[in-house]
Structure 1
């Protein structure tokens, strides 16, 4: 991870996740980046702003380098909504 303080970075992302969940918003990389930006707007602490910036950079790098096929993720999401489950062999 790129965080200066890895544990604090996890806490910052977790806080963003909770904010989105409480607001009944979709939780994905893009919504997390946006939420972290919103959190930064309301914060005055330089150290917290630096942690939020680190978390946003990490998420952006993850989104750009993620080997996952985006089409596959949409298919998995659709199959869950339809109640389709994979058979275990």
Structure 2
């Protein structure tokens, strides 16, 4: 992780997860990034803002790589589907 303090980073993300769960909102990378932004708007502590920024940056790295991973999953499921069709013949 890229957090200044890895344990604090986990706590910050955990807090965002709890906020989303209590609000009965979907919990995913995008909603976590948005929730962390909301948390940053209400905080005045420079240290906490830095931790939130680190957590958002870390989560955004997953967003940037996820389209590639999704393409790989599509390819994998398509190849399985083709094998199933060929096996039925």
Question: TM-score category by the smaller chain?
Answer: 0.7 to 0.9
Q: CA deviation at 1:70?
A: 7.0
Rg larger in 1 or in 2? 2
2:70 counterpart of 1:69: yes
Question: What's 1:16 paired with?
Answer: 16
The TM-score with structure 2 as length reference comes to 0.75
Structure 2 segments unaligned to the other structure (5+ residues): 74-89
TM-score norm. by structure 1 comes to 0.75
Richer in helix (by share) = 2
Give the match's secondary structure for 1:24: coil
Aligned residues: 73
